[in-house]
Chains A and B, each alone.
Chain A
């Protein structure tokens, strides 16, 4: 023992040293560092969970947004379609109206023309009759007998009728 240098006081001193070092390291290093490691672990876990949550939220939000967008798009499409339909209908209606109006106007004009023409013809006939009567009177007064006069008038009227019909 002596040759190996074993000395009880030194042995005890070294044991005490170890105990002291254990205490120092426990208070100065192990406790704070282990606490810090644990804190960091907790913090990282929390952060990861938070990130997951945020990610999930974002995904949900995006989904909702996309749904909304899709709905809006569909609505817009429907609105456009209905507007187009309405426009088409309106166009049809306006066209029909215009057409009807035009036809009416044309008819009216035709009627007017026909009427006026009839009137004119009637007036003309009247005029012709009077003129012929006048002419006839003048002729009769000079040379014609009753028979020849009538024949002449009839002939004339027939001619004017044909003329009027044209």
Chain B
């Protein structure tokens, strides 16, 4: 019986709100999904988006984790230290097994990418991410149907809402995140109006950094740029770039031309080399895009899936939460390991390419 208790509790959590909720949310609900992060407030002219805000929370959490796990280090590990050691030892072993002795160099970047992406992916799955935030409502307006609102003191509302209000123009549709309808525990302060009268924007306080292109693009740029830097460092600057711009054979052709015996074969292969180099260069640039949109797409889509499943049937998101936890881990792992692999290739492949 005891073994079934947790499962019964989970089922109860799933079913009970589902039985109660429909009573509250009979009105039509509009949900829109915004790709752009919402602005929470501005600090000296610098707009702070909710994803940036959540990034800091992620950083604080990781720092806390690191601090707690290394505060009282002992040769016989226990608790947090154990967990941290498992993570670091695993990643370090992975780096060493993939990149050999260069793994030590790549490890900090790979591990940081993994931890940052993992924390932001998983944090985004927590309740409260997405649905809880500020909705600036124009004078005399009402909150859209199905959304629970609180009245804020005017000063705070003005200082917070002003900037979010500006952003309303950036978002194309009135962006209301209807996750809010899931929260039965919140008191209904504002009375839901039948009609949406004004343009509104829900600015959730928390939004997973992985659902912001800026974050994923920044990580992708860091990954790809560091890959080039490591490549140049290990293979040599000139030698590294000849991988992309290879004029060897064409030079040979001109050399033979001056001698009076033009070697057209060399010219032909020279152009092939140039073309191959160009392809390599493009694929290098495409890495930025693939890194960016793989992470962004997976996590953003995952949250959209959860949202849609919530609308379809109350218990339906449950298996998808499991899936999203897995996807969150996989994406962090894939980002980290691809970075590692690309760095390894950049620091080795050229030497091998020299042979032909």
Q: Residues of A at under 8 Å CB distance from B?
A: 2-7, 9-15, 17-18, 20-22, 24-26, 28-30, 32-34, 36-37, 39-40, 43
Contact = CB atoms under 8 A, between A and B. Distances in A.
Given A5-B35, A10-B212, A24-B59, A30 B221 contact: no
Contact of B112 (A2, A12, A25): A25
Contacts of A29: 66, 69-70, 84, 88
B214 A7 contact: yes
Contacts of A3: 35-36
Q: How large, as a class, is the contact surface on chain B? A: 35 or more
13 contacts: A7-B49, A14-B209, A14-B214, A18-B112, A18-B113, A18-B116, A21-B112, A24-B63, A25-B62, A26-B108, A32-B70, A33-B73, A33-B89
Nearest to A11: B214
A47 B98 CA distance: 30
B111 A25 contact: yes
B33 interface: no
A15 B67 contact: no
A25 B107 CA distance: 12
A14 B54 CA distance: 11
Contacts of B147: none
Interface of B: 35-37, 46-47, 49, 51-52, 55-56, 59, 62-63, 66-67, 69-70, 73, 75, 77, 81, 84-85, 88-89, 92, 107-109, 111-113, 115-116, 170, 209, 212-215, 217-219, 221-222
Most chain A beta-carbon neighbours within 10 Å: one of B111, B170, B217, B218: B218
Contacts of B81: 33
Contacts of A26: 108
Contacts of B218: 11-12, 14-15, 17-18
Contact of A25 (B115, B212, B213): B115
